[in-house]
Amino acid sequence: MTIPLDPTITPPGTSRFRDAGGVPADRWRAVRGEETLVATHCCFCGVQCGMYLRVHDGKVFGVEPRDHDINRMRLCPKGLNAYQQVNHPDRLTAPLLRRSRTDDLRPVSWEQALDHAADQIQRVQAAYGRDAFGMLGGASLFSEKTYLVGKFARVALRTRHVDYNGRLCMVSAAGANKLSFGIDRAANPFADILLTDCLLIAGSNVGECFPVMTQYLWGARDRGATLIVVDPRETSIARTADIHVALRPGTDSAFFSSVLHVVVTEGLADEAYVAAHATGWEEVRQAAAEYPPERAAQICGIPAAQITEVARMFATAPKAMAWHARGIEHHTQGVENCLTVINLCVATGNLGRPGAGYGTITGQGNGQGGREHGQKSDMLPGGRSISDPVHRAQVARIWGIDEADLPQAGTSMMEMVHQMGRGEIRGLLGICNNPFVSLPNYAVVKAGYDALDFHAQCDFFLSETSANAHLVLPVTTWAEDDGVMANAEARVVRHRKAQEPLPGVRTDTWVMCELARRLGVGDKFAFTGSEQVFEELRVASRGTVNDYYGITYARLDETGGISWPCPTVDHPGTPRLFEDGQTWHADKKIHMQAVRWHPPADPYDDEYPMTLTTGRTVAHFLSGNQTRRLGGLVEQTPRPWVEVHPSHGYASGDPVTVVTRRGAATFPALVTDAIRPDTVFVPYHWPYPVAANELTIDALDPRSKIPEYKVCACRIQPAAHVTAVPAPPVPPGHESYAATQVSRGDQHPPTSSQGRGTSEP
C-alpha cells in the first residue's frame, strides 16, 4: 500500500485546528509582560470550580487552573472559555432604547435610559396598579444581587410580582427539601461522595452538565463504590455504570416507589432509624406497596428484575448516597419525584453520615444562593416566607418599612408570562434571564412579552429576550464585580473582580440603586458595592435557617468557602446536615411524604405517540446567550440536533422534524443506540427557529410551578432540510463577532452528544 506524502491528504484532523475564534486567544504565542492571576470561580454551573483569571494591563485575557478544593484545578470546556466573554466584541456598552417594537434599538445615555425606565414604571403602576409591573431575576447573579432583586421589587416597585429563573431549575428539589427536612440544600458535601459505597445518580447527565463533579464519581468507584444511574439516555456516566436504569421519561416516582417497596418487602429498611427520626413512614410504605416491581416495570418500560437489583444494591451498601438534578425535577410531579428519592435515603438510614446522604445538583452557578434571599415570589431573605406574619414583620423592620407596605406572595415565572398575555402584568424589568430560549412553549412566551407596554432587560450580551425589549441596560459580567455564590453543596464562595467594567457598562447593583433613587426610595438602596449589600444580607439572614451571619468576605478569603448555616463569625460552617439526626422542622423529625405516580401532563395518542425530552450539552450553558458567542464552544457544538434511536430508520444527518401540540422544529438526526426507542432528545440552548422550547409544554408542577421540560408527547417525521441556526443577536448596526461563528452553518449533527470529534470536518 502506498501512502501519498501530501500534507493535505493526512489522517483526519491533522490539518484542522479547532481555533478558539479570535478573542482573545487568537495567537499561537505567549502574551508577554506582566500578568496578574485573580483567584475567583467559574461563572457557569453549580459546581463552582475555582479558577484564576489572567489579567494583563487591566484586561482579562486568559485562564489558569486553580487548586481550589472543589475542583482541584480541573475545569470543563465552559469554564475554560468563560474568560472570553469579558472583553468580547459582542458586549453591550451603551443602554439601548426604543419607544415601540417597530423601531430599532438606539443607544442613549444612562441618564436618559434610567429616567425613561422610572417614568415607565410610574406610568404603568399609576394606570394599572403596583402589581402590574413585574420583575424577573436570575440565579447566575451573585447572592448580593439576588437579594437586591427581591428588595427592589418589594421596596422600590412594591409589586407582588417578582420571581426568577431558578423557577425553571431548582424549585422542585427546594419544595421536596422543605417538606421533608425544613431546610433547602444538599445534605452532604461533594467530598462525601468519595466515601460512599453505593452512589445513585438520578436524572443528571453529570458528565456534560457538571463535568468536574465526575472526578468525585470516578473517585468513589476507584475506592470500590458501585454506581447506579437512572436516565433515559446512556450518558457518559451511565455508559460504564454498574446499573443503568434507562426508564421512560416521566416515570421516576413509580420507579423509586417500587425500589422502596422492594426494600421493605426484603426487610432491608432501617426501621430503627426511621422510628427514631421520621414521621409518615406508614403512609409512605403503603403508597410504595402500590408499585410492586411488575407494575412499575410496565410503567417505566424497564425489566422488573432491575428494580430489585437497584433496591438490593442501594439498601445493602453500608453507606449509600443519592444525587439528582433536573431529570427528575422538571416534571409536573417534580416535587414528588424528589420526595421518592428522599424517602429511599431515609428508609435505608442513609442520611447525615460521611458517605451517606442526599443531594440535589444545582444547575446555575448560584442556583443554591439565588433561591435563598428573596427573589422568589413567595420568599423573603433568609429563606423566610412572605406569607408568615412573623417573617414579614422581621423583614419590614430590617428594611425600615411598614409591614403593611410589604407586598404579598406573587406568582411563578411561567404564570407571570401567562399574566402578561392576559394584560394583568403590563411592565417588566428582567435581570439575568433569557426566557425566549429558556421558558417552555415559545409561542406563548413571545406573545406574553409582546403584549407588555414596557419591557426593560439587563444583560451583558444582547439576548434573544433583550433584543425584543424596549430598553436594554448593559451590565457587568461576573469578572467585573465582586460577590458571592453558593454552590451545589451550599458552600458560599467568593468571586473577585478581575477588571474594571468596560466603558459604558454598570453593575446590576448600581442600576437597581439608581432606579430606586428615581422611584423615591434611594435611602433604602444607598449601596456603593457588593460588600455593603452582603453586610445587609448577613444581618437579614441572621437567626434564620439560611443563616449567613457568620460569613464575611474576609472569612471567605481565608477559607475558600463556608457552608451555611453559619450563625457566628467563629462558626466553621455546616458542610454536612443531619449529623445529629435532627431536621429543621419544629419536631426535629424528617417528614416523609407519601407519593403516588401519575402520567405526565401531555397525553400520548396516535398522533403523538413518542416522548420528547430536553437537556443540556457540555459545550453550552442554559439559554446559550453566553456560550453561543465563544468560538471554542461553537466549534465543539455548533448547532442543536435530535437524538433518535436507529429503529426509526433514519441515518445520522437526515433532517427530522419533531412535532408536538405546541409546534414543530427541524433538526439533523443524531442516530444512536444511546437513547430509548420511544424517546427523542433535543438540547435546548438555541433560539427559535431551532429551539427545543418551541416544542415543550408549559404545564407546571402544582407545588413548585416548575415546567415539565423533561417529558411531552411528540412524533417525528422526515423533512426536506434542516433549519439554519440564527446568529446571536447584536445591536442594530453591529455584526456578531464573525470569528466565533464560522462553524454555526454546519448542517450536521455532532459526532456524539458531547460535540464534534476533533477529526470531524
Partner 1 sequence: MMGRTIIIDPGRCIGCQACVSACRECDSHRGKSMIHLDYLDAGHSVASMPTVCMHCEDPLAPCAQVCPAEAILVTPDGVVHDADKSRCIGCGNCVNACPMGVPKIDLKAKLQFKCNLCYDRTSYGLAPMCATVCPTGSIFYGTVEELRAERPNVAVASTFDFGGNLLTTGVAMVVPADRGDVPVPGGVGQPAGPTPGPQPFGSVPTSADNVLGEPL
Q: Which stretch binds partner 1 (CB under 8 A): 169-177, 231-239, 259-267, 508-516?
A: 231-239
Nearer to ligand SF4, 672 or 747 (CB): 672
CB nearer to partner 1: pick between 236 and 340: 236
Least distance (Å) between residue 212 CB and ligand SF4: 4
Subset of residues 488 to 547 that bind partner 1, contact rule: CB under 8 A: none
Q: 404: buried, middle or exposed (CB in 10 Å: 19+, 13-18, 0-12)?
A: exposed
Helix (H, G, I), strand (E, B) or coil at 420: helix
Residues from 54 through 113 that contact ligand SF4 (CB under 6 A): 71, 75-76, 78-79
The single residue among 43, 48, 60, 74 that binds partner 1, judged by CB under 8 A, is 74
Amino acid at 313: M
648 lies in the site for partner 1, by CB under 8 A? no
In the numeric block, which cell numbers belong to residue 571?
Answer: 462558626
Do the bridges between strand 320-324 and strand 357-360 make them parallel or antiparallel, or are there none, so unpaired?
A: parallel
266, three cell numbers = 426484603
Give the shortest CB-345-to-ligand SF4 separation in angstroms.
25
Q: Is 81 in the site for partner 1 (CB under 8 A)?
A: yes
- Residue 49 or 342 having the CB closest to ligand SF4: 49
How far from 137 is each of 165, 218, 371, 457, 508, CA to CA, in Å? 6, 36, 10, 10, 11
Contacts with 722 (C-beta within 8 Å, 6 or more apart), sequence order: 655, 666, 667, 668, 747
Give the interface size with partner 1 as a residue count (CB under 8 A).
82
* Count of residues of this chain found to bind ligand SF4 when the rule CB under 6 A is applied: 14
Asked if residue 136 binds ligand SF4 (CB under 6 A), the reply is no
Q: Is 44 in the site for ligand SF4 (CB under 6 A)?
A: yes
Which parts of 732-751 interact with partner 1 (CB under 8 A)?
Answer: 748-749, 751
Nearer to partner 1, 4 or 503 (CB): 4
Kindly tell me which residue out of 33, 99, 104, 222 binds partner 1, with binding defined by CB under 8 A.
Answer: 222
Cβ–Cβ < 8 Å for 470, 454: yes
Give the x-and-dash track for 204-223 against ligand SF4 (CB under 6 A): ------xxx-----------
Q: SS3 sequence, 164-196?
A: EHHHHCCHHHHHHHHHHHCCCCCCCCHHHHHHC
Which residue from 373, 456, 416, 383 is spatially nearest to 121, judged by alpha carbons? 456
- Point out which span in 45-53, 56-64, 431-439, 477-485 binds ligand SF4 (CB under 6 A): 45-53
- Distance CA(146)–CA(251), nearest Å, equals 34
48 binds, among ligand SF4, partner 1, none (CB under 5 to 8 A by kind): ligand SF4
Identify the burial level of 210 via C-beta atoms within 10 angstroms of its C-beta, where 0-12 means exposed, 13-18 middle and 19 or more buried: buried
Asked if 52 interacts with ligand SF4 (CB under 6 A), we say: no
Element holding 436 (H helix, E strand)? helix 435-438
Q: How many residues does the chain have?
A: 761
In the list 23, 38, 45, 695, the residue contacting ligand SF4 (rule: CB under 6 A) is 45
Q: Which stretch binds partner 1 (CB under 8 A): 71-79, 122-130, 268-276, 286-294?
A: 71-79
Binding mask 238-277 for partner 1 (x = CB under 8 A): -xx-------------------------------------
Contact partner at residue 44 from ligand SF4, partner 1, none, CB < 5 to 8 Å by partner kind: ligand SF4
Sequence-separated contacts (24+) of 555-558 with Cβ below 8 Å: 556/484, 556/492, 556/493, 556/494, 557/494
Instruction: Assess contact for 473 and 95: CB atoms under 8 A.
Output: yes
Q: Is residue 89 part of the contact set for partner 1 (CB under 8 A)?
A: no
